[in-house]
């Protein structure tokens, strides 16, 4: 796939995936279109050689794999479906000072200031009882701007440009309407009604997030950049998803996109949970063969990397400071915040060299901390040799992040193993 088509698809995927649930649903649809067969963890599996499969857990994590005859080792690619955001609390509605506003919890390490003065919408999962007494869940996406968090005017806070801080409980409640007749239950029923779900007896619970309605776009004199919400890490989800759809049937490849990375991965559907291990055990039922496969495989943990910011260059080690559009970044950390080793580096560089792709290296400043990824967690959990790589990105965890328009396609070529 050419870069322009690839990037157009990326923008569409980002816009259509405001929550991990929607990202998972969109990936599942893509896998189904590409001939993958869905498996249910609660049923028994009869895998057939040379077919392709995918499995979901909690509607927010997904694994896809090929199953070629006699496969003894897998190229695994890992990413995460979640991004920092503002989540609605269960009793969200607050009516005061002439408006209806929502109480929210911040999810993950989000940069709060960029959430002010944005046209926000709401999306997520709603779980309800239907008229026949069945408990069901469905995804909603209001799509239109429904709420906004206005900044405090500079006249009311003259030190704003020097020392404004943001209180997560009191300062970031999105306002929804001046009409105090508003009822949250009616709002949810209306959202279900729009999906033609009419047999709703009782709405039990919801997991809803705010998101920015501004669409993803190409930015720059030569469309050098891509600006969007959730580039961390839906960009890697998109690359992994397209890669496994593009490889030949005889190539043993597995792609996993996990929820809850931004809050530490410790959940049933997170990378610290049993999802991947359970699936690998079911593909390789014999324990001896399972261990041999894991120890022969390579996990490429794909997550965004901090590009050196042109206005804040001192935040990087100048010898390990990735540039935008200068290639995929290998992430290295002596304290194992990244799982990269010299041997997994060599394996990845061999793959990059095969398609003539450029790479760069990132090591954080020794006097600064560094984020982590699903890489070390997956390596610890199942014992697979792992490399942490990613696409250079500015403004990570902002409501609008920025990456280059070349780099994701380069990673795609590396994973597929040919120039496209
Ligand atoms: Zn990430």
How far does the centroid of ligand 1 lie from the alpha carbon of residue 10, in Å?
17
Confidence of residue 8 (pLDDT cuts 50, 70, 90): very high
Q: How far apart are CA 267 and CA 52, in angstroms?
A: 26
What is the Å distance from ligand 1's center to 368 Cα?
A: 18
CATH class of 85-212: mainly beta
> Mean pLDDT across the stretch 370-399?
96
Q: Using the mean position of ligand 1's atoms as its centre, give its distance from the Cα of residue 31 in Å.
A: 23
Q: Rounded to whole angstroms, how far apart are CA atoms 122 and 144?
A: 8
Region 158-175 average pLDDT: 95
* Distance (Å) from CA 116 to ligand 1 centroid: 22
Distance 107 CA to ligand 1 centre (A): 13
Residue 401: closest CA among 85, 133, 163: 85
C-alpha 408 to ligand 1 mean position (Å): 14
State in Å: Cα 165 to ligand 1 middle.
Answer: 24
Taking the centre of ligand 1 as the mean of its atom positions, its distance from the CA of residue 261, in whole angstroms, is 7
Ligand 1 midpoint to CA 356 (Å): 26
**Residue 104 Cα to ligand 1 middle (Å):** 22
Q: What is the predicted pLDDT for the residue at 370?
A: 85
**Tens-place pLDDT, residues 36-72:** 999 999 999 999 999 999 999 999 999 999 999 999 9
Ligand 1 centroid, distance to 380 Cα (angstroms): 18
Q: DSSP labels for 26-81?
A: HHHHHHHHTTPEEE-TTS-----TT-EEEEEETTTEEEEEE--TT----EEEEEE-
Domain ranges of the chain: 3-83+229-417, 85-212
Which pLDDT score, from 0 to 100, does residue 28 have? 98
CATH 3.40.630.10 given to domain 3-83+229-417: yes
Over 80: is that where the pLDDT of 420 sits? Answer: no
Q: How far is the CA of 123 from the centre of ligand 1 (A)?
A: 20
Please, which pLDDT band fits residue 418 given cuts at 50, 70 and 90?
Answer: confident
Distance from the alpha carbon of residue 410 to the mean position of ligand 1, in angstroms: 19
C-alpha 319 – ligand 1 centre gap (Å): 23
Tell me: the pLDDT tens digits for 221-266?
999 999 999 999 999 999 999 999 999 989 999 999 999 999 999 9
Cα(373) to centroid of ligand 1, in Å? 7
Distance 55 CA to ligand 1 centre (A): 22
Task: Check whether the bond before 348 is cis (ω within 30° of 0).
Answer: no
Ligand 1 mean position to 81 CA, how many Å? 9
pLDDT of residue 400: 98
User: How far away, in angstroms, is 302 Cα from ligand 1 center?
Assistant: 8
3-state secondary structure of 93: strand
Of 257, 252, 300, the closest CA to residue 412 belongs to 300
Q: Give residue 338 CA to ligand 1 midpoint distance, Å.
A: 12
Interval between CA 200 and ligand 1 midpoint (Å): 36
Distance 92 CA to ligand 1 centre (A): 28
Q: How many CB atoms lie within 10 A of CB 157?
A: 12
Please tell me the distance between residue 233's alpha carbon and the centre of ligand 1 in angstroms.
5
C-alpha of residue 23 to centroid of ligand 1, in Å = 14
- The position carrying tokens 């408006």 is 99
Q: Report pLDDT digits (tens) over 90-127.
A: 999 999 999 999 999 999 999 999 999 999 999 999 99
Task: Please indicate whether residue 249 or residue 276 has the higher confidence score (pLDDT).
Answer: 276
The reported pTM is: 0.97
CA distances from 330 to 132, 313, 341, 355, 386 (A): 53, 19, 10, 16, 11
Provide the percentage of residues in the chain whose pLDDT is more than 70: 100
Helix/strand/coil percent split, the chain, to 5: 30, 30, 40
* 392-394 sheet: strands from edge to edge: 217-219, 225-228, 401-404, 392-394, 305-306
- Whether 405 contacts 226, CB under 8 Å: yes
Residue 372's pLDDT band, with cuts at 50, 70 and 90, is confident
How many Å lie between the centroid of ligand 1 and the Cα of residue 90?
Answer: 26
Identify the pLDDT of residue 1: 86
286 Cα: distance to centroid of ligand 1 (angstroms) = 34
The CA 80 to ligand 1 mean position distance, Å, reads: 7
Burial track 20-29 (b if 16+ CB lie within 10 A, e otherwise): bbbbbbbbbe
**Span from the CA of 232 to the centroid of ligand 1 (angstroms):** 5
């Amino acid at each position: 796939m050419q870069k322009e088509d690839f990037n157009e698809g990326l923008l569409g995927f980002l816009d259509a995936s405001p929550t991990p649930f929607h990202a998972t649903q969109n990936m599942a649809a893509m896998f189904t279109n590409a001939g993958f067969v869905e498996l249910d963890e609660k049923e028994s599996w009869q895998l057939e050689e040379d077919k392709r499969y995918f499995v979901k857990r909690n509607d927010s994590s997904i694994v896809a794999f090929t199953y070629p005859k006699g496969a003894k080792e897998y190229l695994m690619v890992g990413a995460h479906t979640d991004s920092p955001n503002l989540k609605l609390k269960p009793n969200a509605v607050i009516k005061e000072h002439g408006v209806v506003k929502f109480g929210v919890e911040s999810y993950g390490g989000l940069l709060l200031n960029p959430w002010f003065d944005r046209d926000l919408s709401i999306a997520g999962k709603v779980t309800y009882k239907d008229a026949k007494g069945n408990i069901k869940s469905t995804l909603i996406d209001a799509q239109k701007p429904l709420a906004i968090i206005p900044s405090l005017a500079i006249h009311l806070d003259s030190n704003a440009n020097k020392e404004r801080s943001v209180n997560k409980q009191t300062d970031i409640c999105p306002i929804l309407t001046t009409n105090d007749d508003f009822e949250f239950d009616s709002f949810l029923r209306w959202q279900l009604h729009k999906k033609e779900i009419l047999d709703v007896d009782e709405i039990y619970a919801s997991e809803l997030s705010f998101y920015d309605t501004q669409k993803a776009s190409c930015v720059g004199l030569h469309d050098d950049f891509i600006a969007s919400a959730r580039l961390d890490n839906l960009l890697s989800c998109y690359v992994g998803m397209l890669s496994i759809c593009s490889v030949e049937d005889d190539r043993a490849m597995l792609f996993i996109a996990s929820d809850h990375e931004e809050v530490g991965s410790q959940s049933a559907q997170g990378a610290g949970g049993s999802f991947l291990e359970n699936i690998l055990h079911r593909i390789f039922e014999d324990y001896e063969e399972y261990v041999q496969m894991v120890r022969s495989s390579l996990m490429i943990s794909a997550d965004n990397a901090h590009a050196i910011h042109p206005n804040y260059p001192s935040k990087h080690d100048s010898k390990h400071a990735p540039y935008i559009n200068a290639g995929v970044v290998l992430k290295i950390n002596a304290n194992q915040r990244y799982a990269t080793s010299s041997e997994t580096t060599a394996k990845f560089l061999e793959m990059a060299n095969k398609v003539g792709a450029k790479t760069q290296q990132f090591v954080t400043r020794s006097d600064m901390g560094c984020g982590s990824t699903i890489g070390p967690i997956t390596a610890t959990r199942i014992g697979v040799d792992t490399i942490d790589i990613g696409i250079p990105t500015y403004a990570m965890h902002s409501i609008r992040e920025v990456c280059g328009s070349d780099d994701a396609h380069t990673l795609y070529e590396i994973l597929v193993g040919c120039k496209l």
